[in-house]
Amino acid sequence: MLATFNRLIKDDEGATAIEYGLIAGLVSVAAITALGAMGNSLDEMFTFVSNRLDNAVAAGSGGGGGTPSP
């Protein structure tokens, strides 16, 4: 009985699994946070590009098409 109790005290496999689980959880939280911030900046960038293209099309729509004269 005492030998079984000593073996259970020395067994650290469960603790290792818990540590790996905690590390995986922290990595997941960091990844979600980083991707969320990157998603916001990508949205702002595409909105900026879209607005610039809309302005360029509106400014250039006064002509009749074709190639521009030199």
Task: Say if residue 12's pLDDT is above 80.
Answer: no
| pLDDT tens digits, 18-69 | 889 999 999 999 999 998 888 888 889 999 999 999 999 988 876 555 555 5
Does the pTM exceed 0.85?
Answer: no
pLDDT value for 26? 96
pLDDT value for 63? 52
DSSP letters, the chain, are -HHHHHHHHH--HHHHHHHHHHHHHHHHHHHHHHHHHHHHHHHHHHHHHHHHHHHHHHHHTTS-SSPPP-
Query: Dihedral angle at the C-alpha atoms of 19, 23, 28, 29, nearest 10 degrees?
Result: 100
Give the number of C-alpha atoms closer than 13 A to the C-alpha of residue 60, restricted to the C-beta side: 10
